[in-house]
């Protein structure tokens, strides 16, 4: 990671702590009506997993996806660099009685490797709007994922495309990153079909699906690219 990107990344944890305090708080959308509702991508991912799978998720937030998988009998390593989000996850997992299948880990993907606490093979890897890292760091990190992923394991990666409004207004930093001056310097990865193709080619993953997914979040249109693949 370049010096400017490293400097920007140091501010992201505080930014997301604030975001999760608002979104996952008592009156926040994810702390109210969506608190136990998984994303559509998480439901799809679950349908592709073998029973009692072991999952590594980057960007678990309050765990509405991870807790959904745990309720279906899977075990989940929940990786997030927001301690506020992880605190919410632990509270909700305890409330739902799935704490024994949830492993919350404070973690920043800018490390370029999986944390040492993920010390076993995994059957699935999931990152939804979470891998905000540069090209070199991304490939190093996914290389570690590939090493841990069992043959036949499932990968789902989703992130904002060049068609997304927030990406379009952001400043291009190069190496796959852009910074949003209208959102307190939010650092985002910019995904393209070519970047998803490179990932599959690098690790020999077989793409099951690669498509654009449009949705709304708090009244704002969003455009994502989604990769679903197997090893």
Q: Would you give per-residue pLDDT tens digits along the chain (231 residues)?
A: 444 444 554 578 777 777 767 777 776 677 778 899 999 999 999 999 999 999 999 999 999 999 999 999 999 999 999 999 999 999 999 999 999 999 999 999 999 999 999 999 999 999 999 999 999 999 999 999 999 999 999 999 999 999 999 999 999 999 999 999 888 888 999 999 999 999 999 999 999 999 999 886 666 788 999 999 999
- Cα dihedral angle (39, 155, 16, 87), rounded to 10 degrees? 80
Domain ranges of the chain: 3-159+191-230
pLDDT at 14: 75
Structure tokens at 52: 């009692």
Q: How far is CA 173 from CA 3, 177, 208, in A?
A: 11, 5, 31
Q: Are 151 and 124 in contact (CB under 8 A)?
A: no
Q: Are 177 and 187 in contact (CB under 8 A)?
A: yes
Reported residue count of the chain is 231
Query: What is the greatest pairwise CA distance in the chain?
Result: 44
pLDDT at 103: 98
Task: Spell 12-46 as b/e; 16+ CB within 10 A means b.
Answer: bbeebbebbbebbeeebebbeeebeebbebbebbb
Structure tokens at 144: 């570690």
Rounded Cα gap, residues 159 and 132, in angstroms: 9
Instruction: Return the CATH fold of 3-159+191-230.
Output: Rossmann fold (3.40.50)
Please give the span between the terminal C-alpha atoms of the chain, in angstroms, as a whole number.
27
Q: Is pTM beyond 0.85 here?
A: yes
Rounded Cα gap, residues 124 and 24, in angstroms: 26
């Amino acid at each position: 990671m370049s010096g400017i990107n490293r400097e920007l990344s140091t501010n992201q944890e505080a930014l997301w702590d604030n975001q999760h305090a608002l979104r996952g708080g008592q009156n926040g959308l994810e702390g109210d009506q969506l608190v136990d509702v998984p994303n559509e991508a998480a439901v799809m991912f679950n349908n592709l997993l073998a029973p009692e799978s072991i999952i590594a998720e980057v960007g678990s937030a309050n765990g509405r996806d991870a807790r959904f998988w745990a309720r279906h009998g899977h075990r989940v390593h929940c990786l997030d660099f927001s301690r506020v989000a992880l605190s919410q996850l632990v509270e909700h997992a305890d409330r739902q009685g799935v704490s024994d299948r949830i492993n919350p880990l404070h973690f920043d993907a800018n490390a370029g490797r999986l944390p040492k606490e993920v010390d076993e093979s995994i059957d699935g890897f999931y990152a939804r709007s979470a891998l905000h890292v540069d090209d070199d760091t991304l490939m190093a990190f996914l290389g570690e994922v590939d090493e841990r992923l069992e043959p036949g394991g499932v990968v789902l990666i989703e992130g904002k495309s060049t068609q997304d409004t927030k990406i379009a207004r952001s400043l291009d930093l190069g190496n796959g990153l852009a910074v949003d001056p209208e959102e307190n310097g939010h650092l985002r990865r910019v995904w393209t079909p070519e970047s998803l193709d490179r990932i599959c080619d690098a690790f020999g993953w077989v793409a099951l699906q690669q498509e654009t997914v449009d949705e709304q979040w708090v009244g704002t249109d969003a455009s994502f690219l989604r990769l679903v693949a197997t090893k």
